Amino acid sequence: MPFRVGVMEIVLEVIGSQSLKDKRMVIRSLKDRIRNSFNVSIAEVDDLDCWQKATLAVSCVSNDKKIIESMLSKIIDIVEEDKDALILDVKTETL
């Protein structure tokens, strides 16, 4: 049975961040919550030196496209619930 890969890029504004240290605390907490809830890979991939913006990449593998789409949707819900981050843009793709 073929497998599928889901990839998502999330661009965030880190609300109230005054330094890279503030930003990294928010992003680390968000990444940990997502990793603990889902079996995905997640990393900060862009805007590394910008203290009010972050770009995260998420990837997951499954044999069912619907499972991937559901998982990525639930990850967006978790990010939307975070009071310290505001979603600016989301791009998803299933390969």
pLDDT of 2 reads 84
Which residues span the domain enclosing 46?
Answer: 4-94
Q: Is the pLDDT of residue 48 over 90?
A: no
Q: Please report, for the domain that includes residue 26, its CATH number.
A: 3.30.70.1120
Q: What percent of the chain has pLDDT over 90?
A: 82
CA separation for the pair 10, 23 (Å, rounded): 15
Cβ within 8 Å of residue 94, ≥6 positions away: 4, 5, 6, 7, 65, 68, 69
Q: Residues 52-63: pLDDT tens digits? A: 999 999 999 999
- Look up residue 64 and give its two tokens: 């069912």
Strand (E) or helix (H) holding 44: strand 41-46
Instruction: Please count the structural domains in the chain.
Output: 1
pTM: 0.88
Q: Residues 11-41: pLDDT tens digits? A: 999 998 889 999 999 999 999 999 999 989 9
